[in-house]
Structure 1
Amino acid sequence: MDDQEGQESREGQGGRGVREAELPLRERKKRQTRQRISDIATGLFAQHGFDQVTVAEVARAAGVSTMTVFNYFPRKEDLFLDRIPEAVETFTGAVRRRGPGEAPLSALRRLALELLRQRHPLSGVGDGFAAFWRVVADSPGLRARAREGVEELEEALAGVLAEAGVAHPELLAALTVAAYRTVYVASARRLLAGDPVDEVAEDHRIRLGAAFDALERMTA
């Protein structure tokens, strides 16, 4: 995904991270290099297919060594699914930085709706997202890495829910991630089928609301 989207994700509500301008120059350059490599890789994968492009080819196109690519992305799949660490930080950050008296589920609901409003990649709904999902659907390796990313998010979310004093944090994390994933995947399938983005987004919003309503009833 492009650098503008990355900037929005770092500054978006709910999972707000450190603003780019506040980082030391060295760290900013490292982030920019990482984003450039990922963007170039994404373009190559979209054009030729994930399994048909090697890491060495990505490195050549980005003007860096293969070792440099692996310094930023331990696995080839992470070049394309580069937002897994961001997803973990964004969702756990929504719980950690929630307002006084705000319940963790309320903070997560607010985050999910804000991501959708932005048409952020982590929402799963936006213009051009169908091309992304076609690459994932065509690669067993990417599908497997996506499942691992879901597990990483669930584990991290359970940790912050425990910190927040929530009862049965592992169970709530599993239910929350499963609910979000169900809505997310359904919207991705509709985009792949060619349904209008605005129509998918509205249905996504309604289903998110129903999912969080159900989660809150179960934890009341």
Structure 2
Amino acid sequence: MPRTAARGGPQTRARISQIATQLFLERGFEAVTVAEVARAAEVSSVTVFKHFPRKEDLLLDRADDAAELLRTAVRANGDVLASLRAATLRLVDERHALSGLKDGSVPFFATVAASPALIARAREIADDLQQTLTEELTAPDAELLAAFYVSGYTTVLVETARRQLAGESPDEVVDDHRARVELLFDRLRTGFSG
């Protein structure tokens, strides 16, 4: 019988996600069931779904972190673009998982790329993040700015992932990744003319 005493809380959520990620990376996303994740984490399937409403969210578990990062950047005093730029570049400097530059990310990228369900969920998360950013912004062109930022940053991430899947290390792509982030913010500020 699975343990149920520690069914709630962030530690349980983190443990479930860590175990699920390990199973998905070892065997592939479609090959692992939620029931197997629950057994390995010594919780019930109900507990898994309490923390992760969708199976895909067991692997793509940083959406809340990304949304909070956007909210914090927009709510900071001053220039919204400067704040978003600083927050995005901080991810690069920290080699945060949301930057795509964290060591050991290649198995994650390969697992996502091999799963239509994970690709679809990643697109839904991007749409949700765009909506979150739109709601936080007060500018009349908030929806357009949010769309440009999320689509632009997604493009940077996909290229960084593609290069690492092709054999380059995070150290080899970090400078180009940073340059593409800087270009994104230059274009957001000045436009695309010329």
Give the TM interval when normalised to the shorter protein: over 0.9
- Amino acid in the other structure paired with 1:54: T
For residues 55 and 170 of structure 2, the distance between their equivalents in structure 1, rounded to whole angstroms, comes to 29
Deviation of residue 86 (structure 1)?
Answer: 1.4
Q: Secondary structure at the match of 1:51?
A: coil
d(CA) in 2 for partners of 1:45 and 1:89?
A: 26
Q: 1: CA distance between counterparts of 2:152 and 2:118?
A: 21
Once residues 54 and 24 of structure 2 are traced to their aligned partners in structure 1, the CA distance between those partners, rounded to angstroms, is 15
Aligned residue in 2 for 1:200 = 173
Any gaps of 5 or more consecutive residues in structure 1? 1-28
- The gaps in structure 2 that reach 5 residues or longer are 1-7
Which residue of structure 2 lines up, in the alignment, with residue 150 of structure 1?
126
What is the CA-CA distance between 1:88 and the residue it aligns to?
1.0
Say which of 68, 71, 81 aligns to 1:89.
68
Encode CA deviations 1:18-70: one digit per residue, 9 max, x unaligned: xxxxxxxxxxx601110000000000000000000000000000000000000
Once structures 1 and 2 are overlaid, which stretch shifts more, 59-68 or 84-93? 84-93
Give the Å deviation of 1:196: 2.3
Q: Secondary structure of 1:52's partner?
A: coil
Q: Match of 2:161, as an amino acid? A: A
Match of 1:34 among 4, 13, 16: 13
Alignment partner of 1:172 out of 107, 129, 145: 145
User: Aligned equivalents of 2:113 and 2:134: distance in 1?
Assistant: 28
Distance 2:91 2:26 in 1: 27
| Percent identical | 51
Specify which structure has the higher proportion of helix.
1
Measure the CA separation in 2 of the matches of 1:138 and 1:181.
Answer: 18
Please say if 1:54 is aligned against 2:33: yes
Shift of 1:179: 1.0
TM-score by length of 1: 0.82
Pair 1:132-2:108 in alignment: yes
Tell me how large the CA RMSD over aligned residues is: 1.2
Letter in 2 for 1:73: F
SS of alignment partner, residue 86 of structure 1? helix
Residue by residue over 1:192-217, the C-alpha shift from the partner in whole angstroms, topping out at 9 and shown as x without a partner, is 11112112111100111011001001
Q: Within 5 Å, which residues of 2 pair with 1:56-135? A: 56-96=35-75, 98-99=76-77, 102-135=78-111
Counterpart of 2:157 (choices 160, 184, 187) is 184
SS of match in other structure, 1:116: helix
Deviation per residue, 1:117-149 (Å, 9 max, x gap): 000011111211111000001111000000000
Q: CA offset at residue 167 of structure 1?
A: 2.7
Q: Take 1:40 and 1:56, find their aligned partners in 2: how far apart are those partners?
A: 12
Q: Name the structure 2 match of 1:21.
A: none
Query: Could you give the per-residue CA deviations for residues 66-99 of structure 1, whole angstroms, max 9, x where no partner exists?
Result: 0000000001000000111211111122111x13
Q: Give me the TM-score of the superposition, normalised by structure 2.
A: 0.93
What pairs up with 1:1-16 in 2 under 5 angstroms?
none
